[in-house]
A and B are shown apart, each in its own frame.
Chain A
Amino acid sequence: MITKDTGVWLAALVTLATYSYLAKENPLFRMIEHFYVGIASGHAVAMAVVNLRDLGTRPLLGGQFIVVVPLLLGLLFYARYLRRPALARLPLAVLTGIGAGTALRSLPGASVLAQLRATIVAFNSVDNIVLALGVVSVLSYFLFTTPQWRAVRLASDLGKVFMMVTFGASFGATVFAGHSLIVGSLELLLGRWLGVLPK
């Protein structure tokens, strides 16, 4: 039983317009595609404004005058529209510093030491031995600036096998990436719109 819900009709029609691309590229699809970029960007702008209201203007009006600094810095991003693009380097310097500081603070502990600790396990099972061997051999593959001794070359060749398995796992996972989205679209079209799916 076809639904009478306006929202579902709208969603179904735009979904069909998008899938019209599968028949042939056409102006309707391009219109929908451009429209989507517009509304997605508009949504991001609306969310950014909420951030500025909650962390900028409201605290400023509440007496926290220090937020004037990031608000002014942020406005400097738009200096290029006033023919002074060099001024935009100032907020970029601060943002870059925050990013670099965050990386220096967290990467050594969480991504290097913790991962190495998890690799140095008791060699009391085949899985643990394969795991440790795999990590060492993959890391050996990335030694580009050291002398390529025989042991390093052998380890590197073994590393290639592990990386092929890793890429295969990622590839298998990626192949499935869009599939559940098709299930979502079909659930909308066949279920909520046309009502042919069993409840």
Chain B
Amino acid sequence: MTMTANTRRLIYVLFVIAVAAPMVRPVPMPLMVKQETRDLYTRIEQLKPGDTVVMCFDYSPGTATDIHAAAVAVFHHLMRRPGIGVIGVAFVADGPQFAEQTFATAPPGKKYGFDLVNLGYRAGGENAIAAFSQDVQKTFPADIEGTPAGRLPLLSKVKSARDFALVIEMSGGTPGPAEWIRQAGQPYGAAIGAIVTTVMVPPNLAYLQSKQLAALLYGLRGAAEYETLVGRPGNGLAGMGSQSAAAVFILLAVAINNIRRLVLRRRALPSERRPAQ
């Protein structure tokens, strides 16, 4: 179908209206929480005081909307659990900024250096994850502000990935859960949970089924489900109406296109009908 520029612009406007309308006038819809989301919730509920969790912020602005909402919900759950320490790391250059934004929402009473630490970013992708899993303080001799690791009590509890009670890898691409499984899960037995964009769901389900991943949250839906579980509505739940509208819009577009082609083919003379390719 040849599309003029004006037709294209009209479609864009209609699409934006369809997506924005549920944001302006929210429509309540049922939300079934998937087992994969409950698995992460249960894992965190089973953590004991003194456990240390690594939150790995491996996403950038191009993939943040899905993941950041879930990251904040999960972080709040961790902060509610007594005695849990959270270490923020990143193997993507934009990660530390999102770690700072997440940690800025910590409840009052949580102390930097004791309850949470932001170690910053290391270059090298999977190799850097391997280095961090083998020796935490050799890879991060200081935190993002330059405070030596020796002055951060939380870091004294962890030497390698063997000491991580849970790793939550939040990724929009590479490095991702697969790299953590290969460098921390398999060699050191670390439990890995993942928060990923919708695009990364299909390949990571194979790791979930093989139990190399302990849990998997995906997309804005995963964020909405986790917000429901922790009782803290946020951007995830707010975006569900828009996502529903977008899905219906696109599927209607596909249906209109295919029906139109079918009708045109039936109207064409037999000599003009092209064989199905």
Residue numbers of A with Cβ under 8 A of B are 22-24, 43-44, 47-48, 50-51, 54-55, 58-59, 98-99, 102, 105-107, 109-111, 114-115, 117-118, 131, 166, 169-170, 173-177, 179-184, 186-187, 190-191, 196-198
Contact = CB atoms under 8 A, between A and B. Distances in A.
Given A47-B123, A190-B24, A58 B65 contact: no
Contacts of A117: 210
Contacts of B12: 22
A106 B65 contact: no
Interface stretch (B73-81, B177-185, B259-267): B177-185
Contacts of A50: 120-121, 144
B140 interface: yes
Contacts of B115: none
Interface in B208-246: 209-212, 219-220, 235, 238-239, 242-243, 246
Contact of B19 (A59, A186, A196, A197): A186
Interface stretch (B106-114, B150-158, B198-206): B198-206
Interface residues of B, number: 58
Interface string B1-36: 000010001001000100110011010000000000
A166 to B, nearest CB: 7
Contacts of B197: 177, 180
B20 A186 contact: yes
A131 B208 CA distance: 14
A170 B123 contact: no
Given A173-B201, A176-B199, 16 more contacts: A47-B121, A47-B123, A102-B183, A118-B206, A131-B209, A173-B199, A173-B202, A176-B198, A176-B246, A180-B220, A182-B242, A184-B64, A184-B65, A186-B16, A186-B23, A190-B23
B38 interface: no
B62 interface: yes
Given A54-B140, A102-B127, A183 B220 contact: yes
Contacts of A114: 186, 210, 212
Contacts of B66: 180
Contacts of B16: 182, 186
Contacts of A23: 9
B93 interface: yes
B51 interface: no
The list of the 8 closest CB pairs from A to B, nearest first, reads A118-B210, A106-B182, A184-B65, A110-B186, A180-B65, A110-B182, A47-B93, A183-B239
A180 B219 contact: yes
B243 to A, nearest CB: 6
A109 B120 CA distance: 29
Contacts of B20: 186, 190
A48 B128 CA distance: 13
